[in-house]
Amino acid sequence: MTRPITIFTGQWADLPLDEMAEFAASCGYDGLELACWGDHFDVHASGNALKQKWEQLKTHGLECFAISNHLVGQAVCDEIDDRHQSIIPEHVWGDGDPEGVRQRAAEEMKQTARAAASFGVPVVNGFTGSSIWGKFYFFPPTSQETVDAGYEDFKTRWIPILDEFEKNEVKFALEVHPAEIAYDIESAKRALEAVDYHPAFGFNFDPSHLVWQGIDPSLFLETFDEYIFHVHAKDVTVRLDGSRGVLGSHLPFGHPKRGWEFRSVGRGDVDFDDIIRALNKLGYDGPLSVEWEDEGMDRRQGAIESLEHLRSVDVIPPSGAAFDAAFSEQDSE
């Protein structure tokens, strides 16, 4: 099976959507995963404006299968500080009072569900934030009660949001990611349990966030086969040579001493052939959405190369039969 290949516009939101769409179409992409920032998607847009957005995409021969509101979602459960002001809309930040920010972010995510339904896409990708991510090292000692309270906070804040998603027949796909309530297999299990396996809650699978943690992306897919709502294609390279640390050493992305770095698809350590085979087993036929986050190369080159690499590996049809089936047929003659 071959899947539509799209590109996430989050790292391209400095460009007008029409320019971004023209470029993606010229590369051969099938569609865009629209970010809810820049001029790419406004969750408060009128129905007429959303219709015009579709016409804008169709002019370039592009589809849209998902929108993404990572930045606002991050503020729903986070311990809010001045870093959040730079990534969320002014009306969500307001006076900056942390609890007010969290509540306004939650309402904005409900509006995102309504906007997605009005636009006609079935999935919203995003983050949840986490009140306990910063306590992951467990020193000073972190009690189990504190961890439990973090998941309870996630449940309390997100179930009303997820109910709005369900009401609008839209799925919320959490990108399993450090700094979120779910960042690996065990925490993803706990997140599902926390929201009582809510039918609107699942995952946006991005292997790059798993590999540097030492987690097998295909095992993640096998573990959560019913909850893979969307797929990001992003690569990562791990460079642990005895001096670099897996935690990043408080160095910015692109620094030569970092222990790992994101890469364009095909230029890192992610085995996309293995992932395609795992997706085939799951029967996933949704989009593969390229997310460019490679500090070491031009993003336009990265977009072109990523598409080419995915086209080359997403041509593996399931066999439909065991390779040794012919042996038994021969024996029966």
Q: Which tens digits make up the pLDDT trace of 92-138?
A: 999 999 999 999 999 999 999 999 999 999 999 999 999 999 999 99
Indicate whether 180 pLDDT > 90.
yes
Q: What is the mean pLDDT of residues 208-227?
A: 98
Domain of 179, CATH number, reads 3.20.20.150
Average the pLDDT over 244-253 and give the result.
95
Report the C-alpha gap between 217 and 274 in whole angstroms: 9
Q: Check residue 327 and give its pLDDT.
A: 64
Pairwise CA distance, residues 95 & 123, whole Å: 31
Contact criterion met (CB below 8 Å) for 205 and 228: yes
Q: What is the pLDDT of residue 315?
A: 80
Q: What are the Cα distances from residue 128, in Å, to 84, 220, 327?
A: 13, 19, 52
The 10s digit of each residue's pLDDT in 252-304 is: 999 999 999 999 999 999 999 999 999 999 999 999 999 999 999 999 999 99
When pLDDT is cut at 50, 70 and 90, the band that residue 244 belongs to is very high
What percent of the chain is predicted at pLDDT more than 70?
Answer: 94
Domain count for the chain: 1
CA–CA separation, 104 and 95 (whole Å): 11
Which pTM was predicted?
Answer: 0.94
Average pLDDT of the residues in 202-216: 98
Section 134-146 average pLDDT: 95
Average pLDDT, the chain: 95
Which whole number is the average pLDDT over 236-265?
Answer: 95
322 pLDDT exceeds 80? no
What pLDDT is attached to residue 2? 82
Residue 200, Cβ density class (10 Å: 0-12 exposed, 13-18 middle, ≥19 buried): buried
Residue 333's pLDDT band, with cuts at 50, 70 and 90, is: low
Q: Supply the pLDDT for residue 300.
A: 97
Q: What is the pLDDT of residues 149-161, one digit of tens each?
A: 999 999 999 999 9
How many of the other CB atoms lie within 10 Å of CB of 79?
14
Which 3 state secondary structure label does DSSP give 202?
strand
Contacts of 117 (CB under 8 A, 6+ apart): 168, 169, 170
Which has the higher per-residue pLDDT, 322 or 291? 291
The yes-or-no verdict on residue 325 having pLDDT over 70 is: no
Looking at residue 317, what is its pLDDT? Answer: 65
DSSP-based three-state secondary structure for 45: coil
Structural domain that includes position 49: 5-332
